[in-house]
Amino acid sequence: MKLDFTERVPAAPDRVFAALTDPAVILDCVDGLESMTPAGGNAYDLRARPGLKGRMTVLEAKPAESLALAVEGRSLAGSLKAELRVRLRPEGAGTRVEGSGDITLGGFLAALGPNMIASGGRRAVADFFSKLSARLTPSGP
């Protein structure tokens, strides 16, 4: 399944990139993610509710420009394998985030159907960037 998205974040590309590569920020912005532990190199072991265990690997990182990630996980409900590429583009006082990914599901997760999975993926991305934007929004006077 293909997942494409475009989001706008009210911060400069260097701040957005720093946030996207900060485990503490990711933990705060991804619902259900319980832990993100360094696993050597550019990899992190992940634990999420309900019972998902997996690994995220940073495949490529160009500060303030782009990021490529691979995620693999398993739970009783099935398996997930995803590769995601993100580009950051300055847009006014903020950043336009353009993402594209391929997601493969197995087990019960695959049985939910591509439309349901795509809809859930879009909601999860929108929720993540809403939380990220709130974290990076400059405070008032």
Residue 80: pLDDT band (50, 70, 90) is confident
Q: Is residue 73 part of a domain?
A: yes
Q: Is residue 31 part of a domain?
A: yes
**Alpha-carbon gap, residue 54 to 98, rounded angstroms:** 25
Task: Provide the number of structural domains found in the chain.
Answer: 1
For 28-47, the pLDDT digits (tens) are 999 889 999 999 989 999 99
In this structure, the chain runs to a length of: 141
Quick count: other Cβ atoms within 10 Å of Cβ 117?
17
Task: Please tell me the predicted confidence (pLDDT) of residue 141.
Answer: 46
**Alpha-carbon gap, residue 42 to 36, rounded angstroms:** 12
Q: Is residue 131 part of a domain?
A: yes
Q: What are residue 66's DSSP bridge partners?
A: 62, 87
77, 129, 120, 82: which is closest to 102 by C-alpha? 82
∠ CA 21-72-129, nearest 5°, is 40
**CATH number of 71's domain:** 3.30.530.20
Q: Is residue 106 part of a domain?
A: yes
Rounded to the nearest angstrom, the gap between the alpha carbon of residue 89 and the centroid of all alpha carbons in its chain is 17
**Which structural domain, as residue segments, surrounds residue 53?**
2-136
Task: Please tell me the predicted confidence (pLDDT) of residue 111.
Answer: 74
Q: Is residue 141 part of a domain?
A: no
Encode 118-141: b = buried (16+ Cβ within 10 Å), e = exposed: eeebeeebeebbeebbeebeeeee
Find where tokens 């940073």 sit. Answer: 58
For 126-140, the pLDDT digits (tens) are 999 999 999 998 664
Question: Is-above-0.85 flag for pTM?
Answer: yes
Q: Is residue 27 part of a domain?
A: yes
Q: Is residue 49 part of a domain?
A: yes
Give yes or no for residue 65 having a pLDDT over 80.
yes
